[in-house]
Amino acid sequence: MANNISFEKLYNFRDIGGMQTKDGEIIKRNLLYRSEDISRLSKRDQLTLKQTGLKLICDLRTIKERESKMYSFPEKWGTIIMHIPINHGSQELTYRDFYQMLKEQGKQDNFENWIHDFYQSIVCERKQEIKQVIEAIANHNNTPALIHCTGGKDRTGFISALIQLYLGVDYNVVVKEYLLSNQLIYPKMKKTEKMIRLFSLYRIPTHKIKPLLIVDKSYLDGALKQVFSQYESVERFFVEGCGISNQTLCQLKCMMLDQPGNKT
């Protein structure tokens, strides 16, 4: 859901709250945020971020992603940064390796299949990391909290969708919120598209690159189809698949949900 927090150098920062559940409850605002990489903030952006009162940041980027774009905040902020890498094996490539792969493989790459595989790998291979994120944000001492990766659209988008579905938001509403990333990051992704085409020596046409730069309903549908076919619900996926306790999930729900009409 769009929010009124604006940054100079962040495109895809927003509040996960503000949505109404199917039972009429409201996900509280100002408790849980999502974003892209936050390593390039301006001084004004840092002040804006400070005003959110963040107590916890869950950084989903890989070690190599973090090495190239490090960040830290003053100790007096009291913000804990947890590194919880959620990645596909091919993401361990350095940027140089990635661009070399583009040049060598060029038109043979099917990035749409790659991104679908990426989402499937989160469901199958990153259950412990999902558990770490949920357990961290379910602790009221850690909120307000922020979840972010590099683009803020795939890893962050998928986990945000899981949380919203668990809290009871209608599937179609969750999908609409997930797809909002396309609108917010369009200017940034156009620049990335130009860079990728340049480094691939223009061997890869724009339509081949597009799956890497957007979110698509089919990405989320495919991953959640796997969740529902094996576990029937997000709650069972959290409990049986990820090993999250019912107590933790109850804490998350009690903390995040509010009755309609209450001010949050």
User: How many structural domains compose the chain?
Assistant: 1
How many Å apart are CA 173 and CA 177, to the nearest integer? Answer: 6
Would residue 176 count as lying in a domain?
A: yes
How many Å apart are CA 37 and CA 187, to the nearest integer? Answer: 15
How many Å apart are CA 121 and CA 88, to the nearest integer? Answer: 7
Would residue 8 count as lying in a domain?
A: no
Q: Is the pLDDT of residue 192 over 90?
A: no
How many Å apart are CA 177 and CA 250, to the nearest integer? Answer: 24
How many Å apart are CA 257 and CA 264, to the nearest integer? Answer: 10
What is the residue type of 24? G
CATH code (residue 238): 3.90.190.10
- How many CA atoms are closer than 13 Å to the CA of 260, on its beta-carbon side? 7
Q: What pLDDT score was predicted for residue 261?
A: 62
Q: CA distances (Å), 83 to each of 88, 110, 194, in order?
A: 16, 30, 30
Find the domain containing 168 and state its range: 14-258
Would residue 245 count as lying in a domain?
A: yes
Residue with tokens 């019912």, as numbered in its chain: 246
- The mean pLDDT of the chain is 89
Q: What is the DSSP letter of 12?
A: S
Would residue 79 count as lying in a domain?
A: yes
Would residue 9 count as lying in a domain?
A: no
- pTM, 2 dp: 0.91
How many Å apart are CA 71 and CA 55, to the nearest integer? Answer: 16
86-143 pLDDT, tens digit each: 986 545 555 565 666 555 555 555 778 889 999 999 999 999 999 999 999 999 999 9
Q: Is the pLDDT of residue 35 over 50?
A: yes
Under 8 Å between Cβ of 29 and 142? no
pLDDT, mean of residues 136-159:
97
Q: What pLDDT score was predicted for residue 90?
A: 47
pLDDT, mean of residues 7-15:
95
Under 8 Å between Cβ of 14 and 157? no
Q: Is the pLDDT of residue 175 over 60?
A: yes
Q: What pLDDT score was predicted for residue 264?
A: 52
Under 8 Å between Cβ of 100 and 139? no
Q: Which of 76-90, 209-223, 229-243 has the highest mean pLDDT?
A: 229-243
Number of helices (H), then strands (E), in the chain? 12, 7
Q: b/e for 85-117, b at 16 or more Cβ within 10 A? A: bbbbeebeeeeeeebeebeeeeeebebbeebbe
How many Å apart are CA 19 and CA 180, to the nearest integer? Answer: 14
Would residue 70 count as lying in a domain?
A: yes
Would residue 91 count as lying in a domain?
A: yes
Q: What pLDDT score was predicted for residue 195?
A: 78
pLDDT, mean of residues 190-214:
80
239-260 pLDDT, tens digit each: 999 999 999 999 999 999 997 6
